[in-house]
Chains A and B, each alone.
Chain A
Amino acid sequence: MSKREITLKDSGPRSNPTVDLARSEESTELLRELVAHLRQNRTQLREEWVLRISETRLLTAMTKEEIFAEATSVYDSYVEALETEAFEALQAYARNLSERIIPRGVETHEVVGIVLLLRDVLARSLFAKYQTDFKKLNRILDAYEPAANRIANTVAVGFVQERERVIRQQQEAIRELSTPVLQVRERLLILPIIGVIDPQRARQLTEQLLRGIRTNRAKVVVIDITGVAAMDLTVANNLVQTVEASRLLGATVIVTGLSPEIAQTLVTIGVDLGKMNTVGDLQGGIEQAERLLGYKVEKLAEPR
């Protein structure tokens, strides 16, 4: 179809659809031409890119062979994205690549850096090829730049999304690790808390404890917060609520391991400490719990 054969309804003063369509046709042609050029010169362009990568000291966490292998597949995906404009496929590829290289310690700035380097290397080769025809060079760049920018964007976003997914996964894992409810005697549970308690974790803790009380038929629970550095008003109130809810299930709670800082916080905030049964350390807490449950611990012999 040539320009003259297209007849479209006039869409108004804003744009001339005839010219727009023609322009996009031409740009498709130009893209095809530059993709062909990039494929033809694949070997030396890729080598130049890998050289630039090591010059700028990116991807230091990877070996030369690894860089070469990944560079090859990135190059091919880049050119393919230019050709097909299939950016979803590119994003999937970027996430896949990220999944491989993030555990190797590759950072965001390195990934963005190498994609931009590739963009430059390819742009330079276009300058070289069309240096005698400035007008054509301009049109080629008009076709190349939006696509290249979109590729850089897509890869960076894909990488960041993968990182965020990993972080979420790790957070979940930490959450699950950190709140075990342990039975150390009949009817006696221990809940050692370590790290930072946010409201969500505090809630999860309470639910887990209450279920544990019911399952184990616990009468005494020792909550040890030696491993908790600091506590704010919300978390302090959560702790009080946990104690109250446990009582509704017939269990007594002993809180142990309050640091001087937390003790100060609780007193300053004005938490109703009459509701809390506290003992200095975990050992003391367990001893008191045993007394409450009617145990007497007697030493029969020296350790062997």
Chain B
Amino acid sequence: MEVPILKQGAFLIATFQAALSDADLNQLRLGLVQQVVKYRSQAVIVDVTAMDVMDSFASRTLREIAHMIRLRGAETVIVGIQPEVAFAMVQLGLTLEGVATALDLEEGLAYLLQKFKNID
């Protein structure tokens, strides 16, 4: 399954689809970092609004993606986690610790703009 990745200035926006298989996620892990390298992006927004379940593999993959992207000096923000999904995740102990999160795409962009404005 192809995950659309859009370029928005210095940022990349990846929109995860509803039913991503483990194979899809594995491909994404490497693929996203490759895109960061290719476009010299400063941050990636991963939009999971369409995901109505998040299992431990998906959660772990997201954390790994964020860590890998950080090794390239870039930031990752996960946006669009649904209330029910968030509730289920914390009950399973999947807290996405160390990864920035925001309510939705708009908030994610605002967060990044704020952050990079301060660095300048």
Contact = CB atoms under 8 A, between A and B. Distances in A.
Interface of A: 206-207, 210-211, 213-214, 217, 219, 241-242, 244-251
Interface string B77-101: 0110111101101110001100001
B21 to A, nearest CB: 23
A211 B83 contact: yes
A214 B90 CA distance: 17
A248 B91 contact: no
Interface residues of B, number: 20
A245 B87 contact: yes
Contacts of B20: none
Contacts of B50: none
B22 interface: no
Determine the main DSSP class of A at the interface with B.
Answer: helix
B101 A250 contact: yes
A201 to B, nearest CB: 15
B1 to A, nearest CB: 24
B25 interface: no
B103 interface: yes
Contacts of B95: 244, 247-248
A217 B105 CA distance: 12
B87 A210 contact: yes
Contacts of B55: none
B107 A248 contact: no
B102 interface: yes
